[in-house]
Structure 1
């Protein structure tokens, strides 16, 4: 069973694990939890975290690292099916750009180029890919979480 967070400062992710901070969980095992980002880069942006407070991914025990890998594959597949878009980015920040000091992965759906409202950099033409992060909409979060969970 995972150990409880060992930190002097409250960790937002540890609070989610313990259930003292609200979240839209979409995936959970004994070792990891996946939930929607509260400031998504794009609709369906998911975070996958270990259920142990370790800041650096490079210091994770093997069983947590393996569980993260398994979760990344399962959630990525469910996310691409839920949004009918196979394109996505999986990112890990370690120290650099790591806002919450708890090892975690981002799974961010790529723009859906079938939509006229989404654009990207094509050749020398600069167009917007990340329109900027925004606060997660509760109604949309409920819908997206349900869509993803139904495909796990």
Structure 2
């Protein structure tokens, strides 16, 4: 897609430190990492959000995310990883991308994205019901 920096990276028009490459996805270092090794995984095909991801790309995308999460510990010696993606809100590039960030206990990353809240009495059940209905779980 014209004007998409991630599509330009996939096409080889913009340099990136590539760490994983398959027929369907590309993983490369984030130029502004949370921690060194922070990798972005993108589908080669221009897809803007997770709901837009075609079915044939789901397994290759998730499998590559698993490989990157494992690599954070085996290659970098981290204790684990933080894996996340934004859809529209806070999505700095409108091309689906999964952040895979190496994590170590005591690394200072706390409350990085989410303030916490609580449900009022009965409210959790209401929210769960609305979501069950939207994903079709009530029809099962």
Q: TM-score, normalised by structure 2?
A: 0.74
Change (3 A) 1:26 1:62: same
Q: Secondary structure at the match of 1:90?
A: strand
User: Aligned ranges for residues 91-106 of structure 1 at < 5 Å?
Assistant: 91-106=84-99
Once residues 102 and 75 of structure 1 are traced to their aligned partners in structure 2, the CA distance between those partners, rounded to angstroms, is 19
Cα displacement string for residues 61-98 of structure 1 (whole angstroms, at most 9, x for unaligned residues): 11212111000111111121111122211001000100
Cα gap change, 1:112/1:43 in structure 2, threshold over 3 Å: closer, same or farther? farther
Match for residue 83 of structure 1 among 76, 82, 95: 76
Q: Which runs of 5+ in 2 are unaligned?
A: 113-140
The list of structure 1 runs, each at least 4 consecutive aligned residues, that deviate by more than 2 angstroms after superposition, is 118-121
Structure 1's unaligned 5+ residue stretches are: 1-6, 122-127, 130-152
C-alpha RMSD of matched pairs (Å): 2.0
- The size of the alignment, in residue pairs, is 113
Q: How does 1:1-152 map to 2 (within 5 A)?
A: 7=1, 9-113=2-106, 118-119=107-108
Distance (whole Å) between structure 2 residues aligned to residue 56 and residue 120 of structure 1 = 25
Say which one has the larger Rg: 2
Give the helix-richer structure, 1 or 2.
Answer: 2
1:15 alignment partner, SS class: helix
- Cα shift at 1:112: 4.7
Aligned partners of 2:83 and 2:37: how far apart in 1?
12
The structure, 1 or 2, with the larger RCO (C-alpha pairs under 8 Å, 6+ apart) is: 1
